[in-house]
Structure 1
Amino acid sequence: MDSTKSSGETAINITESKSGKGKAPATYTAMTKATPYQQGGWKRGISIFDFILRICALVAALAATTTMGTSDESLPFFTQFFQFQASYDDLPTFMFFVVANAIASGYLVLSLPFSIVCIVRPHAAGAKLLLLIFDTVLVGFTTAAAASAAAIVYLAHNGNSNTNWFAICQQFTDFCQRVSGAVVASFIAAVIFIFLVMLSAVALRRH
């Protein structure tokens, strides 16, 4: 008895020998075929993990958007009619940050149905390739937004004596805490995008 395996099918050859003279040995072949679930089991697992990561990235991007978009603090100076105010829309960098993370959030919502398609049909290469392309774009987009905002947050905390930029976080403590948290959430979303790109690349490479 010998067995051969090719293209998801297993052939088992059983040879029966008889003692009678002049009779050729009879060979029986049994064919077993692996089910589609068995063939795409590991790819389905990657697709499920991809879906979970997309939800986590969506939560992080939404948190970054809403936290930065609602960052606003006013300090009274002598009277209530004359105040110092710090708001995210005072700086174009923070405005770009809000727009970039809002776009990332919208994309992640739209990508969820495609991720579900990859779970149902683990061998669908077209959906994986589409997600890989857009995920790569969003990696650069969210990283640029987070990095530029982080530079401003650093100046807000520490200032720069060479350019006479003063630290404002000693006065606007709540504002600085909120924008710092938003930057951290955006970096988390960017890291998750990197993992999504890696997962899609592995799935396509072994397609």
Structure 2
Amino acid sequence: MMKAVSIESGEASKAIGHHGVNRGLSIFDLILRIVAIVGTLAGAVAMGTAEQTLPFVTQLVQFSAQYDDFETFKLSVIVNAIVCAYLALSLPFSIFHIMRSRAGKSRILLIFLDAIMLVLLTSGASAAAAIVYLAHNGNSSANWFSICQQYTDFCQRSAGSLIGSFGAMVCLVLLIILSAVAISRR
């Protein structure tokens, strides 16, 4: 003979639902971190290898452009490398969150560090974007001419590096939002 046992389904299904959602958020967190690593690494490599020498040479001058001719490009390479290293070092935390979705203190730490890295990456990418804009368009009121008509490869590479940097910035914003949502669901 079977006894009728009454279970309140609301509480049990609610606990399982939050665990599954937090696990899904943690997996998405890991994917976003990997995408951001690729973006920052690509941005650093593309900018760090941006150089071009024009085919004509005068007796005294050879015309060339390199990323280290511009301080903002150096800043962009350094910041991308720092953020890439941070993201790589944060992967174990992300994997830990997949296994233990209730971990809260490490998520708070990651929100704080992700925000710092977002600020760093934004400053480096924005400074480089300003110089890339000037290289492409010049500034007629300051009599600065566009150099991208002559240094096309250099300009394409430096502009392309910004795609990785700005893509990583979007990933970091999403990571901060995901961590905040996961903490609020605890």
Q: TM-score, normalised by structure 2?
A: 0.91
Larger Rg: 1
CA displacement at 1:74 relative to structure 2: 0.6
What CA distance in whole angstroms lies between the structure 1 residues aligned with 2:87 and 2:16?
A: 27
Contact 2:18/2:185 (<8 A) preserved: no
Contact 1:117/1:127 (<8 A) preserved: no
More strand by share: 1
CA displacement at 1:107 relative to structure 2: 0.4
What CA distance in whole angstroms lies between the structure 1 residues aligned with 2:59 and 2:25?
A: 57
- Paired residues, number: 183
Structure 1 pair 173–5 and aligned structure 2 pair: CA distance change class (3 A): same
CA offset digits 1:110-145 (Å, max 9, x no partner): 000000000000001112111111111111111111
1:52 matched residue in structure 2:
31
* Alignment partner of 1:171 is 2:150: yes
1:107 matched residue in structure 2:
86
Among 113, 124, 132, the residue aligned to 1:153: 132
Q: Which amino acid aligns with 1:112?
A: L
Identity, in percent, stands at: 51
What CA distance in whole angstroms lies between the structure 1 residues aligned with 2:170 and 2:114?
A: 11
Taking CA–CA contacts closer than 8 Å with sequence separation of 6 or more, which of the two structures ends up with the larger relative contact order?
2
Q: Secondary structure at the match of 1:40?
A: helix
* Alignment partner of 1:5 is 2:8: yes
Structure 1 pair 80–65 and aligned structure 2 pair: CA distance change class (3 A): farther
What CA distance in whole angstroms lies between the structure 2 residues aligned with 1:81 and 1:203?
A: 62
The 5 Å alignment of 1:1-207 reads: 3=6, 5=8, 8=11, 40-78=19-57, 82-207=61-186
Ranges in structure 2 where 5+ consecutive residues have no aligned partner: none
More helix by share: 2
CA displacement at 1:2 relative to structure 2: 8.1
Contact 2:97/2:103 (<8 A) preserved: yes
Contact 2:44/2:81 (<8 A) preserved: yes
What CA distance in whole angstroms lies between the structure 2 residues aligned with 1:163 and 1:39?
A: 58
Structure 1 residue ranges (4+ consecutive) displaced by more than 6 angstroms after TM superposition: none
Q: Which shifted more, 51-60 or 137-146?
A: 137-146
Q: Secondary structure at the match of 1:55?
A: helix
